[in-house]
Structure 1
Amino acid sequence: MGGLVGESRGKAVLRACGCAVAGLFLIAGCAADGTPKGGAASGGPGASVTQGTGSPGASTPAARPSGAVPIPMPPVDESKQPRTAAEARDLLARIIVAEQDLGPEVVRSAPFESGPGRWPVLDESCVWQTEGLPDDVLATSTRHFHIPAGSGRGRVRINATVTVHHNREESGWETARAMEEVLRCPDQKLREGEELKSLWGGALYLGEQLNQWTEDAFTESGKYAGADGGPYPYTWSQAQYGPVTVAIAAKGAQGVTDDDLNAYVAKGTGQMMYLAKQELGKAAG
């Protein structure tokens, strides 16, 4: 990330809070590079190679990770970076997770995918709005999943987002803005009847604490309240590699713990970071 991004991040967040990011992945049973430890549960990303999870017409995605394979931080191959919106959409379709990547109990929600031309903006009143894509974003997509209520547990909501920028500096600024939003708006309104409360965030740049898996890691945690009641646990994690950011948000429910959510967040974010490195990293040797 450029110097201005690092300066903004340093002012935005207390670095001591960043240990929560690395801790999230260790608690969830992942290695420091974000990949699952000791294989995966049946139906998870280590269970089999998943093909064709992108949008119709998209290129076939890279193979999903199998077991605990450490993935180093390869240099970004600039020749692989997308230059157009079409190339960026094709790339994110090969990176973004599908429901089977998160676990056998996870299903698609309706609507499933956000419109490709919309961008979330937190306004001055701490209310989320949508606008057209900003100039620094080539493409973005969000997929919506849930775990149906049952066995004394309420419905868990999970969102996965991949955003492709022109370059690393732009993706770094996206992370910096996310940190500043938490400080500016610890209470946020998602839409009518849905709110996030008491948010706090932390960041770890590559090499800080236990972060060896992403160029910049950021997480926020707090409470979620919606139509099913609350407040319940909420967590969101974003990771950066070159021009790409990947993120998972998980909203809890009755009978769901922070550790439950952390497992899905770590699994999904680690999976997408693995694929981003596969797609954009320079080959070894």
Structure 2
Amino acid sequence: MPAFDPAKQPADADAARALLDRVLVDTEAFGPDVRRSSPFESRPGRWPVLDADCVWQTSGLPPGVLATRTRYFHIPAGDGRGRVRISATVTVHRDPSGSGWETAQAMEEVLRCPQQVLGAGERLQNLWGASLYLGEQLNGWTEDAFSESGEYVGEEDGGPHPYVWSQGQFGPVTMAVAGRGAAGVTAQAVRALVVQGTSRMMLQAHGALAKEG
């Protein structure tokens, strides 16, 4: 894993948004069956917050976050399976300590709320998470690795279906991919999509922020 170059730390929101464009993946990162969803990207300047009742809300960006963006994808239903949904998120912090705190907060959230309400008749249940520092067990790809697994249930999609989420960090950047399965789709298949997306974004973050040589 290369070293982060502090000279490449984005200094303001404009530079952070330019970095998002370099790190975020598109459909080709996941395979030929994946399509862009509508809406394709999240609204700028919004930040997800898990409230005291374990319900996801949105607010403005925290002071330590320069920019964040989420892209939404899906695999259409067909061939005996339902629709698979994927989201990819990249966040740029003002310094590397912010990305570390974000990863720690993700672990706190799953411990506090193993059942979470997404809104619009959707929820996550039976969640569990695991966090590994660089070098622990099989983590050789990120400074801190955080993964979350459980079940997704939705009024439109039914369920419960497999749910997998993975987050990594490099310097001031965190990158995460979430996958929601469907009827006829295994947890292993969802996890493979998540790994493809996070691996690609980590490589692109290295290309944008690593020391040369």
Give me the TM-score of the superposition, normalised by structure 1: 0.74
- List structure 1 segments (4+ residues) > 3 angstroms apart after TM superposition: none
Query: Aligned residue for 1:229?
Result: 158
Amino acid in structure 2 at the alignment position of 1:169 = S
2:161 corresponds to which letter in structure 1?
Y
Match of 1:212 in 2: 140
Structure 2 match to 1:137: 65
Matches within 5 A, 1:165-204: 165-204=93-132
Are 2:171 and 1:242 equivalent residues in the alignment? yes
- Give the Cα separation in 2 of the matches to 1:197 and 1:274: 31
* SS at structure 2 position matched to 1:198: strand
- Deviation, 1:102, is 1.0
Deviation readout 1:52-90 (Å, 9 max, x if unpaired): xxxxxxxxxxxxxxxxxxxxx111111111010000000
Partners of 1:241 and 1:220 in 2: CA distance: 19
| Structure 2 segments unaligned to the other structure (5+ residues) | none
Q: Which amino acid is the alignment partner of residue 196 of structure 1?
A: L
2:49 equivalent to 1:121: yes
SS in 2 for 1:177: helix
Structure 1 residue 192, shift from structure 2 partner: 2.5
Deviations 1:88-111 (A, max 9, x none): 000011100001221100000000
**Bigger strand share:** 2
1:279 to 199, 208, 212: 208
Match of 2:36 in 1: 108
CA distances 1:11-66 after superposition (whole Å, capped 9, x unpaired)? xxxxxxxxxxxxxxxxxxxxxxxxxxxxxxxxxxxxxxxxxxxxxxxxxxxxxxxx
> Partner residue of 2:81?
153
Shift of 1:115: 1.0
Please report the TM-score for the alignment, with normalisation by the length of structure 2: 0.99
**What amino acid sits opposite 1:258 in the alignment?**
A
The separation in 1 between residues aligned to 2:56 and 2:16, in whole angstroms, is 25
1:187-224 superposed Cα distances (whole Å, 9 cap, x missing partner): 00001210000000001100101111110100000000
The one-letter code sitting in structure 2 at the alignment partner of 1:179 is M
The percentage of aligned residue pairs carrying the same residue is 64
Q: Secondary structure of the equivalent of 1:97?
A: coil
Equivalent position to 2:92, from 158, 164, 172: 164
**Which structure: larger Rg?**
1
1 CA distance for matches of 2:153 and 2:169? 28
SS in 1 for 2:33: coil
- Does residue 75 (structure 1) correspond to residue 3 (structure 2)? The answer is yes
2:97 counterpart SS class: helix
How many equivalent pairs are there?
212
Structure 1: distance between partners of 2:176 and 2:3: 21
CA RMSD of aligned residues (A): 0.6
The unaligned stretches of length 5 or more in structure 1 are 1-72
Tell me the equivalent position of 1:4: none
